[in-house]
Homo-oligomer: A and B are copies of this chain.
Amino acid sequence: MDKDKIDKKDHILDVAERVFADFGFDGASTRTISGEAGVNMAMLNYYFGSKEGLFLAIFERKISSFRTLLQNIGNDDSMTAWCKLDKCIDNYVERIIVNNCFQKLINREISMNKRWDLTDKITEILMVNIVEIRKIIEEGLNNGSFYKDIDVPMVIATIFGTKNYIINTPQLSSLIIGHDIRDEKFMEEELKPRIKTYMKRLLKAYLVNENDNSK
């Protein structure tokens, strides 16, 4: 019973997450969401109070998932800073780039100038990731393994910006890469390792190479 209720709520959240990602907050109607979820329209308000409540519930559900993913990497003291960053990239590409319309959802709505309460909520969630990455980079900076003159905030913008660019504009990325990146086989076998390799080389060249040169 209770389990069924939770499953149904989770199912609604799954569907709503995708519909919101595809059509935006305003473009996604409650009728479309309830229709695709196979539930009565009134159930959305019954469970989540309002459309915005449903929207926020999607975020609430994600925030814990993100935290646990990052804690496992950041708090492992047996790894060097670069090793942690390497691990972060692998995990991000593996778990976040693929099949995650939530990222599209986040990036579209945060760029709006309305719904400031919602923006604050989104910002709070994203900062969890960002602070973790920043901690790792600054760790490498403090122990001298990274070049001293790196611009940490900009590096963060590059890490998330590059990732976002690829997943947020799949039509465009597909044209640039020369293959439909929404093709799951291609994404799994070719693009994922390619993104990992590229990001590591790019960051290594900027973060540690110059230091190596001076040595």
Chain A residues proximal to chain B, CB less than 8 Å: 21-27, 104, 107-108, 110-114, 119-120, 123, 126-127, 130, 134, 151, 153-154, 156-158, 160-166, 168-169, 171-173, 175-178, 194-195, 197-199, 201-202, 205-206, 209-210, 213
**Residues A162 and B172 in contact in the complex (CB < 8 Å), given A26-B24, A201-B206, A202-B202:** no
Contacts known (A107-B168, A202-B206); A154 close to B22, Cβ less than 8 A:
no
* Choice from B134, B172, B205 contacting A206 with Cβ under 8 Å: B205
Given pairs A153-B177, A161-B165, 17 additional interface contacts (CB within 8 A)? A23-B112, A24-B25, A107-B107, A107-B111, A110-B172, A153-B178, A154-B194, A154-B202, A158-B158, A158-B161, A158-B162, A158-B165, A160-B165, A161-B161, A161-B164, A201-B206, A209-B213
Nearest residue (CB) in B for A197 is B151
Query: Which residues of the partner chain B approach A198 to less than 8 Å between Cβ atoms?
Result: 151, 154
How far is it, in angstroms, between the C-alpha of A213 and the C-alpha of B111 when the chains are bound? 41
A-B contact pairs, 29 of them (CB 8 A): A22-B113, A22-B114, A23-B113, A24-B24, A24-B25, A24-B26, A24-B108, A26-B26, A26-B27, A104-B111, A108-B108, A108-B112, A110-B169, A110-B172, A119-B171, A127-B175, A151-B194, A153-B176, A154-B198, A154-B199, A156-B176, A157-B166, A161-B165, A161-B166, A164-B165, A165-B165, A202-B206, A209-B210, A209-B213
Q: How far does the Cβ of A119 sit from chain B's closest Cβ, in whole Å?
A: 6
Which residues of B sit under 8 angstroms from A153, Cβ to Cβ?
A: 173, 176-178
Contact B168 A111 (CB under 8 A): yes
Which residues of the other chain, B, contact A157 by a CB distance below 8 angstroms? 162, 165-166, 173, 176
